[in-house]
Amino acid sequence: MMILKKIPWFSLSLVLLTYTALGWVISDTKPPVYIWIVTVVCTLIFVSFLTNVFSKISNYTNVLFKTNFRTFGVTVLAAFLFFLMIAWFKVFLDTLLILSATVLAKIDFQTANLNKQYTFLLTSLSSLLGLVLGIFIHYRISNV
pLDDT, tens digit (0-9, with 9 covering 90-100), for 20-41 = 998 988 888 888 999 899 989 9
pLDDT in tens, 41-86: 988 888 887 777 555 655 665 666 667 777 778 788 888 888 887 8
| Distance, C-alpha 52 to centroid of its chain | 13
Amino acid, single-letter form, for residue 45: I
Could you give the CA distance from residue 7 to residue 82 in angstroms, rounded to a whole number? 36
Could you give the CA distance from residue 123 to residue 133 in angstroms, rounded to a whole number? 15
Helix, strand, or coil (residue 67): coil
Taking only Cα atoms into account, the Rg of the chain, rounded to an integer number of angstroms, comes to 18
Confidence at residue 57, expressed as pLDDT on a 0 to 100 scale: 57
Phi/psi at 121 (5° precision): -60, -50
Q: What is the pTM of this model?
A: 0.76
Q: What is the DSSP code string of 34-61?
A: HHHHHHHHHHHHHHHHHHS-THHHHHHH
Confidence at residue 104, expressed as pLDDT on a 0 to 100 scale: 87
